[in-house]
C-alpha cells in the first residue's frame, strides 16, 4: 500500500479498496520500522492520526467526497499544529506545543487529510542539507551517506522512501525544490502570497512560501489546491481565486515557449546535470514546445543579495525567541539580561547564530544603506529580469541544483559552499514567482532535478508541463532500493 501515489490513494479510498484507518495504520507501522534509518520525522502522532483516519472514514461513510478525505500526509515541523510539538528543528522550541493550527494545517484538516506527524528540517529552515537540525541530520534514501537537501529534508526523505505519499514543505530560497531534486520528487514553491504564511514560523517573511512535495505533479496539484487561497490573517496573502490545478494538467504542450537562460549553464554546473536538463528539453520539444535562449543578467548577484536579505529578516523574526514567552529557558539566570543571553546562546545552533549576526550587522545604522538597501535594489533588478523574460516565454527551464546530493558532513565547515548550491532557486523567492522541481534522471544512481519557473500565478502551467513530461517518462516512478 505504501507504494501508492496520493492520487492512487484518493481513488483507492473512493473505491473502498481500503479504509483510511487501514492505510494510516500500515504507514505508521512502516515509519516505526524504517525511519530509524532516515530520521525524517521529529514527531509521529500515531494516536491522533488513527483518530483522524477513523473520523475521515466516518465522514466518507456519510457521503462526503472531498478527494483528500482520509489521505495521509505529514507536515514540516515549521507549521504550527495545535497541541502538537512544533520545534522548527531547534532546541529553542524543543518543548513548544503550538496553541493553534497554521492556516495550511487547518485547510488540509478541513479537507480531511490525516497528518501522521511532523517532519525534520534544518533549524529555522536555514540550510540546504538538513544537517543543522537540533534533532540530528536526515539521510537521503537514495544513499544514506548523503544529505537529502534542505531545509525540507525530512519531508523529502519521508516521501522519497514511501513513508508518506506527500508532505508540506516551505521554500525561502529553494527549500522545497532543492530537496525534491536531490530525492527524486516533484515539489512546487507557489507565487509569494498564494499560500498563507499564518502559523508558519517565520524565517524571512518576504521570501517564505509553503507548498507541496510529492512524487508526481498530479499529487502536487491535489495538495496545492487544498493549501492555496486567500487568508485575511496573512497580510501578504493575495485575494485571487485559486486555479483548478487538476483541470489544467491534461492541457497539451503544443506552442509552449520555453526559455533557457544562458547564465544557468555556465561554470559551476555539473556537466552531467546539464546533459539531463537538455534531455528534458528534447522531450518537451517532442511534445510541441519551442525553445529560445534568454538571459537573466543579474543572476550573479542573487546569492549575495539573498544572503543579506534573508539573514536581515531572520535576525528580526528570531528576536521573539527570548526564553521568556515560549520555548527553551536557561537554568538559574542571574538577571533578565543573563536569561536572554544564555537562553539564546544555548537554544540556537551555529548556523542560526551566524545568520542572526550577519542580519543584525546588515541592518545596523551605518551599514543599512551599504548592504540591506543595496541588496533590495538588486532584488528589484532580478525581478525585472524575470518580467522581461516572461514577455517572450511561458516557462524558464534549467537545473534545480548545480551538483548532486553531497556526503553528510562534507560541507560542514564551509557555509559559503553550501550557499552556492542555492544559485538556481533563490531568484524565484527574490522575485516572488513560482518554481517547480521535477525528476529528470540519475547520475551515478543519484537523482537529478529540473526546475521550471513561471510568471506570477502560473502554478497551473508549471504543474501542467511537469505532468505532461511525467506522462512520457518514468524517472518519477523510480524508488530508492531498500525502501
Site for ligand GLN in 448-467 (CB under 6 A): none
Which phi and psi (to 5°) does residue 230 adopt?
-65, 140
Strand partners, 186: 214
Residue-wise DSSP of 84-97: BB--TT-GGGTTPB
The stretch among 108-116, 172-180, 257-265, 450-458 that binds ligand GLN (CB under 6 A) is: 172-180
Distance, in Å, from the CA atom of 75 to the CA atom of 166, rounded to the nearest integer, reads 9
Strand partners, 437: 187, 451
| Residue choice 19, 81, 87, 175 for contact with ligand GLN (CB under 6 A) | 175
Output the smallest distance, CB 127 to ligand GLN, in A.
5
Indicate whether 171 belongs to the interface with ligand GLN (CB under 6 A).
yes
Output the smallest distance, CB 444 to ligand GLN, in A.
23
- Helix and strand element counts for the chain (H, E): 15, 11
Cell readout for 82 is 495545535
The stretch among 123-131, 222-230, 404-412, 431-439 that binds ligand GLN (CB under 6 A) is: 123-131
Indicate whether 128 belongs to the interface with ligand GLN (CB under 6 A).
yes
Indicate whether 422 belongs to the interface with ligand GLN (CB under 6 A).
yes
Closest by alpha carbon to 462, among 194, 90, 100?
Answer: 194
Closer residue to ligand GLN, CB minimum distance, 224 or 258: 224
Output the smallest distance, CB 422 to ligand GLN, in A.
5
Site for ligand GLN in 285-324 (CB under 6 A): 310
Which phi and psi (to 5°) does residue 369 adopt?
-65, -40
- The residue assigned the cell 546562546 is 345
Burial class of 123 by CB neighbour count within 10 A (0 to 12, 13 to 18, 19+): buried
Closer residue to ligand GLN, CB minimum distance, 178 or 343: 178
Indicate whether 125 belongs to the interface with ligand GLN (CB under 6 A).
yes
3-class DSSP assignment, residue 69: coil
- The residue assigned the cell 488540509 is 108
Indicate whether 112 belongs to the interface with ligand GLN (CB under 6 A).
no
Indicate whether 432 belongs to the interface with ligand GLN (CB under 6 A).
no
Write out the catalytic residue numbers: 76, 151, 175
Indicate whether 356 belongs to the interface with ligand GLN (CB under 6 A).
no
Helices (H), 238-301: 271-286
Closest by alpha carbon to 82, among 46, 118, 39, 122?
Answer: 118
Indicate whether 184 belongs to the interface with ligand GLN (CB under 6 A).
no
Burial class of 235 by CB neighbour count within 10 A (0 to 12, 13 to 18, 19+): exposed
Closer residue to ligand GLN, CB minimum distance, 151 or 451: 151
Residues in contact with ligand GLN, counted by CB under 6 A, come to a total of 13
Closer residue to ligand GLN, CB minimum distance, 130 or 470: 130
| Residue choice 173, 179, 434, 449 for contact with ligand GLN (CB under 6 A) | 173
Distance, in Å, from the CA atom of 52 to the CA atom of 20, rounded to the nearest integer, reads 9
The stretch among 119-127, 332-340, 360-368, 470-478 that binds ligand GLN (CB under 6 A) is: 119-127
Closer residue to ligand GLN, CB minimum distance, 421 or 459: 421
CA 311, 459, 177, 301 dihedral sign is negative
| Residue choice 127, 141, 193, 441 for contact with ligand GLN (CB under 6 A) | 127
Output the smallest distance, CB 97 to ligand GLN, in A.
23
How big is the chain, counted in residues? 483
Query: What residues make contact with ligand GLN under the rule CB under 6 A?
Result: 125-128, 151, 171-175, 203, 310, 422
Amino acid at each position: 500500500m505504501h507504494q501508492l501515489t496520493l492520487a492512487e490513494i484518493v481513488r483507492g479510498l473512493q473505491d473502498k479498496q481500503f479504509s483510511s484507518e487501514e492505510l494510516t495504520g500500515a504507514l505508521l507501522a512502516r515509519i516505526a520500522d524504517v525511519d530509524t534509518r532516515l530520521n525524517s520525522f521529529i514527531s509521529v502522532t500515531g494516536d491522533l492520526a488513527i483518530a483522524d483516519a477513523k473520523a475521515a472514514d466516518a465522514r466518507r461513510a456519510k457521503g462526503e467526497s472531498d478527494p483528500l478525505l482520509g489521505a495521509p500526509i505529514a507536515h514540516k515541523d515549521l507549521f504550527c499544529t495545535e497541541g502538537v510539538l512544533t520545534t522548527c528543528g531547534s532546541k529553542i522550541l524543543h518543548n513548544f506545543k503550538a496553541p493553534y493550527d497554521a492556516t495550511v494545517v487547518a485547510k488540509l484538516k478541513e479537507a480531511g487529510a490525516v497528518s501522521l506527524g511532523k517532519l525534520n528540517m534544518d533549524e529555522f529552515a536555514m540550510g540546504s542539507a538538513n544537517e543543522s537540525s537540533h534533532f540530528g541530520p536526515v539521510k537521503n534514501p537514495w544513499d544514506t551517506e548523503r544529505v537529502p537537501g534542505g531545509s525540507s529534508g525530512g519531508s523529502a526523505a519521508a516521501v522519497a522512501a514511501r513513508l508518506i505519499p506527500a508532505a508540506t514543505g516551505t521554500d525561502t530560497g529553494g527549500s522545497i525544490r532543492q530537496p525534491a531534486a536531490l530525492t527524486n520528487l516533484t515539489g512546487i514553491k507557489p507565487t509569494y502570497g498564494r499560500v498563507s504564511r499564518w502559523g508558519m514560523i517565520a524565517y524571512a517573511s518576504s521570501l517564505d512560501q509553503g507548498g507541496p512535495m510529492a512524487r508526481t505533479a498530479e499529487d502536487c496539484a491535489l495538495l496545492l489546491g487544498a493549501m492555496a487561497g486567500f487568508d485575511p490573517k496573512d497580510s501578504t496573502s493575495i485575494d485571487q481565486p485559486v486555479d483548478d490545478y487538476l483541470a489544467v494538467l491534461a492541457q497539451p504542450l503544443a506552442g509552449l515557449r520555453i526559455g533557457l537562460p544562458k547564465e544557468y549553464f555556465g561554470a559551476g554546473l555539473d556537466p552531467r546535470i546539464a546533459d539531463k536538463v537538455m534531455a528534458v528539453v528534447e522531450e518537451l520539444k517532442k511534445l510541441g514546445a519551442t525553445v529560445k535562449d534568454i538571459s537573466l543578467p543579474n543572476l550573479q548577484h542573487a546569492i549575495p543579495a539573498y544572503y543579506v536579505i534573508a539573514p536581515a529578516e531572520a535576525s528580526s523574526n528570531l528576536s521573539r525567541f527570548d526564553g521568556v514567552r515560549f520555548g527553551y529557558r536557561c537554568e538559574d539566570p542571574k538577571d533578565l539580561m543573563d536569561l536572554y543571553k544564555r537562553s539564546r546562546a544555548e537554544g540556537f545552533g551555529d548556523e542560526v547564530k551566524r545568520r542572526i549576526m550577519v542580519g543584525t550587522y546588515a541592518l545596523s545604522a551605518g551599514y543599512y544603506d551599504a548592504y540591506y538597501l543595496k541588496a533590495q535594489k538588486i532584488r528589484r533588478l532580478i525581478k525585472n529580469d524575470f518580467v522581461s523574460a516572461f514577455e517572450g516565454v511561458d516557462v524558464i527551464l534549467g537545473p534545480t541544483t548545480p551538483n548532486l546530493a553531497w556526503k553528510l558532513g562534507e560541507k560542514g565547515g564551509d557555509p559559503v559552499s553550501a550557499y552556492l548550491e542555492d544559485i538556481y532557486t533563490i531568484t524565484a523567492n527574490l522575485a516572488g514567482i513560482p518554481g517547480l522541481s521535477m525528476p529528470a534522471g540519475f547520475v551515478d544512481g543519484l537523482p537529478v532535478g529540473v526546475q521550471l519557473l513561471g510568471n506570477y500565478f502560473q502554478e497551473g502551467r508549471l504543474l501542467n508541463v511537469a505532468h505532461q513530461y511525467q506522462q512520457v517518462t518514468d524517472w518519477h516512478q523510480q524508488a530508492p532500493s531498500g525502501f
